[in-house]
């Protein structure tokens, strides 16, 4: 059964067996070594699931980066503190243009306020855009007017990774070929693979189909060993993928959504 904690553990083992080292995003920006996998986690909902991921990684002696939204469904201070104590990187999953309805002046103030609050819990040197489902605003557009480097931010994956060299694999849409139903959580890259299941990704690793640098993006709320949560997420994501594909994918980018 896919998208369970056991399947996640098998994927991590396959990455390690393929000869890759694991890295946070911040550490990758410093050295960018070959044979490296960046473990990125977007904590959109259910932060306890992210804590489960962080504990698994800690037990295996590896580290990842966890991006938290400034909403109650994501921002759990106890979880943030525990994940940070395990040595994982903490980042801000910003969506300010959505929450401020496109007003960039209000959005940059909101960004600064939330970043300051998060930094009271853990060091934060990287950020990552949240796609903001159902919003017509792309929060990356905030940086057409402002610079995140003015806030002491060293990197944002969509701007600071060379995806001509780094493969991007994301579980958007609860599938690994989610770029087919995604508008914002995708990148321009020559590295594109028709992996649908996690088993497909594992096979690709075993067959050495992937380059020597990869960013994996996980949405831990999609990974459940509890049968009720697993079924709920399966049904919800299938419905959401249909909506995105048939009602939004052909709309102008400013009117589109992402998951």
Residue 246 pLDDT more than 60? no
Domains and CATH numbers, the chain: 5-255 (3.20.20.370)
* pLDDT at position 257 over 50: no
Rounded distance between C-alpha atoms, residue 170 and residue 41, angstroms:
10
pLDDT of 27 above 80: yes
- Averaged pLDDT for residues 159-184: 85
Angle at 95 between CA 196 and CA 195, to 5 degrees: 10
Over residues 60-70, the pLDDT tens digits come to 999 999 999 99
Q: What's the whole-number average pLDDT of the chain? A: 89
Residue 104: what pLDDT?
A: 98
């Amino acid at each position: 059964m896919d998208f369970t904690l056991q399947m996640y553990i098998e994927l991590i083992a396959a990455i390690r067996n393929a000869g890759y080292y694991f890295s946070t995003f911040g550490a990758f920006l410093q050295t960018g070594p070959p044979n490296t996998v960046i473990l990125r986690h977007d904590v959109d909902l259910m932060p306890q699931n992210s804590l489960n991921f962080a504990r698994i990684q800690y037990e295996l002696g590896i580290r990842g980066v966890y991006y938290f939204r400034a909403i109650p469904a994501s921002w759990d201070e106890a979880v943030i503190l525990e994940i940070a104590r395990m040595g994982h990187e903490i980042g801000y999953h910003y969506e300010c243009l959505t929450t401020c309805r496109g007003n960039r002046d209000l959005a940059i103030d909101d960004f600064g306020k939330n970043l300051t609050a998060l930094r009271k819990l853990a060091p934060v040197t990287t950020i990552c855009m949240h796609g903001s489902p159902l919003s017509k605003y792309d929060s990356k557009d905030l940086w057409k007017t402002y610079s995140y480097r003015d806030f002491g931010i060293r990197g944002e994956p969509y701007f600071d990774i060379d995806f001509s060299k780094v493969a991007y694999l994301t579980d958007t849409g609860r599938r690994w070929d989610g770029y087919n139903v995604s508008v914002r959580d995708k990148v321009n890259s020559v590295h594109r693979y028709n992996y649908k299941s996690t088993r497909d990704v594992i096979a690709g690793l075993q067959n050495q189909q992937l380059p020597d640098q990869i960013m994996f993006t996980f949405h831990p709320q999609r990974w459940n060993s509890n049968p009720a949560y697993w079924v709920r997420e399966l049904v919800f994501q299938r419905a959401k993928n249909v909506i995105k594909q048939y009602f939004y994918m052909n709309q102008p980018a400013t009117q589109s959504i992402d998951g």
